[in-house]
Amino acid sequence: MRFHQLERFVMAHIVIIGAGVIGTTIGRALAFKKAGPITILEKEPSAGQHQSGRNSGVIHSGINQKPGSMKARMCVEGNRLLREYCRKKKVPMEECGTLVSARTEKECCVLEKLLDMGMQCEVPGLKIITQKELKEREPASLGIAALFSPQGATVDAPALMEALTQEAKGLGIRYRFGTKVTGIDGKTVSTNQGKIEADHVINCAGLHSDTIAHMMDVGKQYRIIPFRGEYMEVRNCGVRSMIYQAPDLRFPFLSIHLTRETDGRVLAGPSAVPAFGREAYNKEWVWREMPGIFLSRQFIRLFMNPEFVGIAFDNAMVSLSKSAFLRQIQSLVSGVKSDDIIPARAGIRAQMVDSSGKMVNDLVAEYFKDSTHILNAVSPGLTSSLAFAEHVADRILNPQS
Ligand SMILES: Cc1cc2nc3c(=O)[nH]c(=O)nc-3n(C[C@H](O)[C@H](O)[C@H](O)COP(=O)(O)OP(=O)(O)OC[C@H]3O[C@@H](n4cnc5c(N)ncnc54)[C@H](O)[C@@H]3O)c2cc1C
């Protein structure tokens, strides 16, 4: 069976939509398995212009993942594969470990919970460290204890995208940049550059993955709600590695952290606030997209959840007010003043919300004979990418597995 399925795909033309880390790694995995000619269509002039090049660059160890979830498995395995890949390809990476800092007794309970979740997910080397040990690692930290995860690392995400893209090209994958998919009818993919015939379409369109899926009548119950995350560069704070706030486990991505990047700069962020457009990096209002986002039943139901609204309001304050952002930083480390922080980049997360208004926290992919849809390559998608791509490629080539 395995052999026949592989044979079915040999020489079939696979068209991948989106040259982010997910489209590129899935293409790479399929090329290694000699699945047939592969073309990647990307509307931008180069790869990794959206989420994959505009993130925190953290190689997560898997400490805040739900045990048993696909995301937990992919994150833990992806962490190992990605660190190996960066070492081999000489992509800039710092294997500095992750600290989740507790500032109150209540947050110490969150650390215990994270430790338990991490151990269930088989994250290696986790331990809770005392305030003294924390101070030895991060002298400016204000935590009273921390969870330390030695597998956490930071990577230069644009350099990683460049390495993956060059490797994919070397494997024979054809990139068509500046090519925006505008419609799909059976095997015919329409683009702004003409029509392309595909035996199998793989939708890896990130912030637009729902739009592409809906063109093929897939995933109609889901909507991507874009969340903008802003970063501040923090000068003179002496952070040596990565310090996270203890998260609210109901909404784990809504908390900020301090990260020393591979170039030595320290960034704080990201905030998380609904964006007025899927690519509205500069807080602009993209009127044509707004009804689809804000009048969707998914968004309306999400905002009927009072717990979510409370946290979203706090995050909006962080986004809108420099002093609110500063207070978040000052709650993690001492000695940072207003003059020490300057706005840095922004990224926008593709967060899938279902028709009941629930944020979907796990990876979601749907598989059909002629198409595959990566509908929720949610954070930490960069970390998980190599492991997830392997899983998706196997699933496409061996549908019965
Ligand atoms: C602020 C932020 C911080 C994050 N931090 C981390 C982190 O520290 N660690 C981590 O592991 N993960 C992190 N993530 C998550 C991670 O970045 C994503 O999970 C991952 O990059 C998703 O990759 P992707 O390929 O699915 O999406 P993308 O990188 O967005 O790629 C999708 C591509 O599809 C293209 N496309 C869309 N529509 C079309 C069309 N119609 N035609 C042609 N092309 C199209 C887009 O131009 C884009 O290039 C973060 C994300 C954000 C936004």
Residues 166-178 have pLDDT tens digits of 999 999 999 999 9
- Residue 154 · residue 96 · CB < 8 Å: yes
**Cα–chain-centroid distance for residue 134?**
28
CATH code at 1-57+156-221+360-401 = 3.50.50.60
- Determine the pLDDT at residue 314: 80
Q: Is the CB of 207 under 6 A from ligand 1?
A: yes
Which residues, at least 6 apart from 89, have a Cβ–Cβ distance to it below 8 Å?
Answer: 163, 167
Q: Is the CB of 391 under 6 A from ligand 1?
A: no
The pLDDT tens digits of the residues spanning 44-75 come to 999 999 999 999 999 999 998 999 999 999 99
% of the chain beyond a pLDDT of 90: 86
For residue 49, report the distance from its CA to the centre of ligand 1, in Å: 8
- Determine the pLDDT at residue 343: 94
Q: Is the CB of 383 under 6 A from ligand 1?
A: yes
Q: Is the CB of 18 under 6 A from ligand 1?
A: yes
Q: Is the CB of 226 under 6 A from ligand 1?
A: no
Q: Is the CB of 56 under 6 A from ligand 1?
A: yes
- Determine the pLDDT at residue 11: 56
- Determine the pLDDT at residue 306: 83
Q: Is the CB of 64 under 6 A from ligand 1?
A: no
- Residue 40 · residue 175 · CB < 8 Å: yes
- Residue 227 · residue 348 · CB < 8 Å: yes
- Determine the pLDDT at residue 2: 38
pLDDT beyond 70 at 323: yes
The pLDDT tens digits of the residues spanning 324-335 come to 999 999 999 999
- Name the residue with the closest Cα to ligand 1, atom 53: 349
Mean pLDDT (whole number) for 23-30: 98
The pLDDT tens digits of the residues spanning 332-357 come to 999 999 999 999 999 999 999 999 99
Q: Is the CB of 82 under 6 A from ligand 1?
A: no
Question: Which residue from 364, 382, 388 has its CB within 8 A of the most atoms of ligand 1, so it is best to mutate?
Answer: 382
Residue 128: CB atoms within 10 Å = 17
- Determine the pLDDT at residue 73: 98
- Determine the pLDDT at residue 7: 47
Picking from 40, 33, 58, 71, the residue whose alpha carbon sits closest to that of residue 384 is 71
Q: Which of 84-98, 244-258, 264-278, 312-326 has the lowest mean pLDDT?
A: 244-258
For residue 134, report the distance from its CA to the centre of ligand 1, in Å: 33
Question: Which residue from 25, 39, 40, 50 has its CB within 8 A of the most atoms of ligand 1, so it is best to mutate?
Answer: 50
- Name the residue with the closest Cα to ligand 1, atom 45: 18
- Determine the pLDDT at residue 10: 53
Amino acid at 254: L
Q: What are the CA-CA distances from residue 316 to residues 112, 230, 249, 290 (Å)? A: 29, 11, 19, 18
138: tokens are 């991060």
pLDDT beyond 50 at 279: yes
For tokens 């709600």, the residue is 225
Q: Is the CB of 206 under 6 A from ligand 1?
A: yes
**Please, which pLDDT band fits residue 249 given cuts at 50, 70 and 90?**
confident
- Name the residue with the closest Cα to ligand 1, atom 25: 20
Index of the ligand 1 atom closest to the CA of residue 350? 53
Index of the ligand 1 atom closest to the CA of residue 207? 30
Mean pLDDT (whole number) for 239-249: 91
**Please, which pLDDT band fits residue 218 given cuts at 50, 70 and 90?**
very high
Index of the ligand 1 atom closest to the CA of residue 383? 11
- Determine the pLDDT at residue 16: 98
Q: Is the CB of 208 under 6 A from ligand 1?
A: yes
- Name the residue with the closest Cα to ligand 1, atom 27: 206
- Determine the pLDDT at residue 6: 45
Question: Residue 235 and residue 245: Cα distance in Å, rounded?
Answer: 19
- Determine the pLDDT at residue 1: 35
What does the domain layout of the chain look like in residue ranges?
Answer: 1-57+156-221+360-401
The pLDDT tens digits of the residues spanning 183-211 come to 999 999 999 999 999 999 999 999 999 99
- Determine the pLDDT at residue 349: 95
- Name the residue with the closest Cα to ligand 1, atom 4: 55
- Residue 381 · residue 54 · CB < 8 Å: no
In terms of DSSP bridges, do strands 364-367 and 371-376 run parallel, antiparallel, or are they unpaired? Answer: antiparallel
pLDDT beyond 50 at 286: yes
**Please, which pLDDT band fits residue 255 given cuts at 50, 70 and 90?**
confident
For residue 203, report the distance from its CA to the centre of ligand 1, in Å: 12
- φ, ψ of residue 136 to 5 degrees: the values are -65, -35
Q: Is the CB of 380 under 6 A from ligand 1?
A: yes
Which residues, at least 6 apart from 318, have a Cβ–Cβ distance to it below 8 Å?
Answer: 256, 271, 273, 324, 325, 328
Query: Average model confidence (pLDDT) for the chain?
Result: 93
